[in-house]
A and B are shown apart, each in its own frame.
Chain A
Amino acid sequence: MLTMIGKRLMFAIPSLIGVVIVTFLLTRALPGDPAAYFAGPAATKEAVEQIRKKLGLDKPLIEQFFRYTNDLAHGDFGNSLTTGQPVAAEIRNRLPASAELTLLGLIVSIVIAIPLGVLAATRPGSWVDHLCRVTTTAGVSLPVFFTGLVLVYVFYFRLGWSPAPLGRLDVFYSAPPTITGFYLIDTLIARDFEAFRSACSQLILPATTLAIFSLAPIARMTRASMLAVLSSEFVRTARASGLSPATVIVTYAFRNAMLPVITTLSMVFSFLLGANVLVEKVFAWPGIGSYAVEALISSDFAPVQGFVLTMAVMYVLLNLVIDILYGVIDPRVRLEG
């Protein structure tokens, strides 16, 4: 197992190097001149040059690149020009917000989609199957920002059930002391139940938005792979041996149907991170997605590079986790590893 993890990590190194080079070149190729942007509307040509020098943008590209990688090696992601803060600190502060939201969205989605998919597979053609098909198709066809806005309109503006879409906590609560960065956990550790409730109610709408969006692939994949497994010979044998339907479905069929579902989950998680950008905008969520978009709009290199790099590292880790999960579920993978 350890050698497998080591091997996987080794494979990740070239892709990370590639990501560093590509993001560096891509951000340089963006239109727009950060020096002119930050010199302000009334700047003279000299003022723009002065700022260019201050930012180190007058140096040749290769020198800029070496300086950048050297800083990276020291854990320095550079400074964001728009927010004025070090990028590493900002990403550290904002990542838990995005992660909490995305994970919760994914969990809600799994809790709904997997039983729905299993039910649909055991009763193909029934009303459950049709319900599964309709809800998932509808969910995936609506763009996330639209779903988000509709939810805000209905549950906040019209009905008033949901709190104001103003980020992670009600304005008048103070954030719990940071331990994990996840408000749901930190508020419980701090025994601040009011803040916990506030954090919880703030999370419901954005997490639902993400869940609606990601229902489709999980439910459809569960259904398809369950159908395949249920028609296989070992299930027939299990049934013929007189095992109860529950044992057949949960113990024998479901475990075997899990592998493609796990693969789908990793893909869903990665595109949820992308969808997060829009959801964060709608709900004024202080995560890294909205941070990266704002940086991109103002040609602010450092945060964009930092964001892409963080994402790349997360993808690598995610793939690693999925690989390990494969091993846990399917002994054959362990043997090959």
Chain B
Amino acid sequence: MKRRDFLKSVSGLAAGAALPAMPSVISSAQADARSETLLIVSEGGPNNLDIHGVGTNVPGYEVSWNCYDRLISHEMKTGPGGVPYYDRDKFKGELAEDFKIDDMSVTFKLKKNAKFHDGAPVTAKDVKWSLDRAVSVGGFPTFQMSAGSLTKPEQFVVIDDYTVRIDFLKKDKLTIPDLAVIVPCIVNSELVKKNASEKDPWGLEYTKQQTAGSGAYKVTKWTAGTEVVMERNDDWVGGPLPKIKRVIWRMVPQAGNRRALLERGDADISYELPFKDFQEMKASGKLNVVSLPFSNGIQYIGMNVTKPPFDNPKVRQAVAYAIPYQKIMDAVMFGLANPMFGAAKDKPTEVAWPQPHKYNTDMDKAKALLAEAGYPNGFETTISFDLNFAGVNEPLCVLVQESLAQIGIKTTINKVPGANWRTELNKKEMPLFTNVFSGWLDYPEYFFYWCYHGNNSVFNTMSYKSAEMDKLIDGARTAAATGDTATYDTDVKGFVDLAYSDIPRIPLYQPFVNVAMQKNISGYQYWFHRRLDYRAMAKG
């Protein structure tokens, strides 16, 4: 350290005029600031500080999560490897002091001492206004609310200043969990209304630039694409006072530089690094690397079942036998994923998701199936992937291409730019592709509803339609709402079995979320949104 300081000052001197020596008082004040400041480096930053905004990106979710409160949040439990992991089934109040779930409604009592960042008290009318906003602004927030059957402003009723009731439209097991996701955050209604306009009744332009919540942190400086600075809100009542006073989040586009910053000890935390880097950092042991599976997430190979040749289940099964699963695990993921293939022949299907299928790499079987389907000499097709995730997708597709060539399927690789990927998915014309899906709400029927149901949502990328599948998925949803465990279990097992025998999409693995941090950083928690929660973290 000493040598470095010396050389640093030498290089500074060499570059400019003779400069006065650094006063030592400032240095020690800076050392203090450093120990209470968390420096995060990542590739991308937020484009909007409000999750209700138009097109808010995923880094924006992290700001919302830490700067706004919700009525309720999840309890923590111990997850894989001893890392704290959110408990899917247990809830605690955040702004709510306590809550009571009745047959067709839930009533929240608010904490009376909760204040927004500007000092205004958090009242029931703020809650109602915020939830009205979430179900009315359209786009992603409204869509996410509807996943929990929260669609109409009439559902949110103010009883008195500190009591709110939410009426259910229908029985839905996902309503309560949906109130603990990022979207139903409570916004300072008076402040935002003051800054709203006729054209923008919900004040989205205002909250895009600044946070107007009651959360543990508030954004004090934001330079889009460069940095976000957040300061602790010392009056936060949503939980114990966080230990980190200040969070500086810098965007560093070069993955190599992010790793260098970590290894030299200049940055505290980073994610979005190549898997190879994570694996090497794990092996070297200088940093803490946490790897946890995405909850309810799978990377898969999808096939468009509306068009030949993939409309033939035999062809799909042949492809499933021709995927080089283990090679992908080793050479692309460097072991940082849970395999979703090669379950033992006699393993019974579980009431769980994700779970491995029974296909394995078996070229002879693949060839035989392809011949049976009427393509003894194979065929030509294209395999598409999203360039935004080229680090994983490109080598993966090359391996699949190589392997499929062995059974006579000639594939051309089609690289789709990130901006175009969603358009292409929406068109549902790509014959063969790889993609990831992961759901915030960790329930099998939630995943299947989006990915396999015949209502053909954008995530049913295969355009798969089956009356039997729909019946099983709908059955499981109803059974979950009414608490009919026996029916629920048979339906879940039923749709998993059907998805694997019909195999419109071939699960490859459950990816890991990888976070690398300095040894002196503690308190990392895994959340369904996979972003950082600064509130529990500590340094030193």
B11 close to A (CB within 8 Å): yes
Q: Which of chain B's residues have a CB closer than 8 A to the CB of A45?
A: 426
Q: Which stretch, B222-230, B284-292, B493-501, touches the partner chain A?
A: B222-230
| Contact A84:B11 (CB < 8 A) given known A167-B250, A284-B251 | no
State which of A38, A39, A161, A284 has its C-beta within 8 Å of the C-beta of B4. A161
The interface residues of chain A lying within 8 Å CB-to-CB of B56 are 40
A50 touching B139, Cβ below 8 Å: yes
Q: Is the CB of A201 within 8 A of B15?
A: yes
**Docked-complex contact B139 and A84, CB < 8 angstroms:** no
B208 touches A84 (CB 8 A): yes
A153 CB → nearest B CB, Å: 7
Whether A42 and B15, one on each chain, are in contact in the complex, defined by CB atoms closer than 8 angstroms, is: no
Given A43-B143, A282-B257, does the pair A166, B252 have CB atoms closer than 8 Å? yes
Contact with A along B180-223 (1 / 0, CB 8 A): 00000000000000000000000000001100000000000001
B419, A298: Cβ atoms closer than 8 Å: yes
B127-150 interface (Cβ within 8 A of A): 138-140, 143-144
B106 CB to nearest chain A CB (Å):
25
Instruction: Give min CB distance, B67 to chain A, whole Å.
Output: 16
Please state if B419 and A201 are interface contacts (CB–CB under 8 Å): no
Q: B263 touching A157 by the CB < 8 A rule? A: yes
Which among B138, B208, B226 is the interface contact of A47 at CB below 8 angstroms?
A: B138
On whether the beta carbons of A197 and B16 are closer than 8 Å, the reply is: yes
C-alpha gap A271/B267 in the complex (Å): 33
A197 to B13, CA, bound (A): 8
From residue 93 to 142 of chain B, which have CB atoms closer than 8 A to chain A?
A: 138-140
Question: Which residue on A lies nearest to B56, using beta carbons?
Answer: A40
Q: Which residue of B lies closest to A42 (CB)?
A: B143
- Closest Cβ–Cβ distance, residue B43 to chain A (whole Å): 10
B419→A43 contact, CB < 8 A: no
The CA of A29 and the CA of B534, in the complex, are separated in Å by 42
Contact of B48 among A42, A84, A197, A281 (CB under 8 A): A84
Q: A157-B264, A171-B250 are in contact. Are A204 and B4 (CB under 8 A)?
A: no
Q: B5 CB to closest chain A CB, in angstroms?
A: 10
Return the CB mask of A82-110 against B: 1 if under 8 Å, else 0: 11110000100100000000000000000
Complex CA–CA separation, A281 to B208 (angstroms): 25
B253 and A290 within 8 A (CB): yes
Residue contact A284 to B253, C-beta cutoff 8 Å = yes
Contacts of A272 in B (CB 8 A): none
For residue B457, which residues in chain A have a CB less than 8 angstroms away from its CB?
42
Q: Is the CB of A37 within 8 A of B55?
A: yes
Q: Answer whether A83 and B426 are a contact pair too, CB < 8 Å, given A31-B417, A40-B139.
A: no
Q: Report whether A193 and B34 are in contact in the complex, using a CB–CB cutoff of 8 Å.
A: no
Task: Tell me the bound Cα distance from A15 to B7 in angstroms.
Answer: 49
- Asked if B161 is an interface residue, CB under 8 A from chain A, the answer is no
Task: Please measure, in the bound complex, the distance between the C-alpha atom of A299 and the C-alpha atom of B15, giving whole angstroms.
Answer: 40
Q: Is B257 touching A152 in the complex (CB atoms < 8 A)?
A: yes
Bound state CA distance, A62 and B81, in angstroms?
Answer: 59
B12 interface neighbour in A156, A201, A290, A297, Cβ under 8 Å = A201
Contact in complex: A36, B426 (CB < 8 Å): yes
Pick from A152, A157, A162, A194: contact of B11, CB under 8 Å? A162
Q: Write out the residue numbers on chain A whose beta carbons fall within 8 Å of the beta carbon of B260.
A: 152-153, 156-157, 165
Q: Are A36 and B54 in contact (CB under 8 A)?
A: no
Nearest CB of A to B539, in Å: 14
Is the pair A32, B419 in contact by a Cβ cutoff of 8 Å?
Answer: yes
CB contacts under 8 Å to B, within A113-143, are none
- For chain B, residues 285 to 312, give those with C-beta under 8 angstroms from any C-beta of chain A: none
Does A78 have its Cβ within 8 Å of any Cβ on chain B?
no
Query: B139 near A39 (CB under 8 angstroms)?
Result: yes
Q: Residue B20 at the A interface, CB < 8 A?
A: yes
- B417 adjacent to A42 (CB under 8 Å): no
How far, in whole Å, are A194 and B33 apart by their CA atoms in the complex? 17
A167–B226 CA distance with the chains assembled, in angstroms: 8
A40-B140, A42-B140, A51-B55 known; A284 vs B257 contact (CB < 8 Å): yes
A160 and B264 contact, CB distance less than 8 A: yes
Residues from 12 to 50 in B contacting A, C-beta threshold 8 Å? 12, 15-16, 19-20, 22, 26, 30, 33-34, 37, 39, 41, 47-48
In the complex, A51 Cα to B422 Cα: how many Å?
14
Is there contact, CB below 8 Å, between B11 and A38? no
A194-B252 CB under 8 A given contacts A40-B139, A201-B11, A201-B12:
no
Q: Would you call A112 an interface residue if the criterion is a C-beta within 8 Å of the partner chain's C-beta atoms?
A: no
A149 on interface, CB distance cutoff 8 Å: yes
User: B420 contacts A31, CB within 8 Å?
Assistant: yes
Residues of A within 8 A of B423 (CB): 32-33, 36-37
> Using Cβ atoms and an 8 Å threshold, which residues of chain B touch A75?
none
- Contact between B264 and A161 (Cβ–Cβ < 8 Å)? no
Q: Does A13 contact B (CB under 8 A)?
A: no
A126 shortest CB reach to chain B, Å: 28
Q: Tell which of A50, A93, A162 touches B138, judged by Cβ atoms closer than 8 Å.
A: A50
Closest to B142 in A: A47
Q: Can you show 12 pairs from A to B with CB atoms below 8 A apart?
A: A31-B419, A32-B417, A36-B423, A40-B55, A42-B143, A51-B139, A149-B256, A153-B260, A161-B4, A166-B250, A196-B19, A298-B418
Residues of A participating in the B interface, judged by any CB pair closer than 8 Å:
30-34, 36-45, 47-48, 50-51, 54, 80-85, 90, 93, 149, 152-153, 156-157, 159-167, 171-172, 193-194, 196-197, 200-201, 203-204, 281-284, 286, 290-291, 294, 297-299
12 additional A-B residue pairs with CB within 8 Å, beyond A39-B55, A286-B223? A38-B55, A42-B143, A48-B426, A84-B208, A84-B224, A161-B11, A165-B260, A171-B250, A196-B16, A196-B19, A201-B11, A284-B254
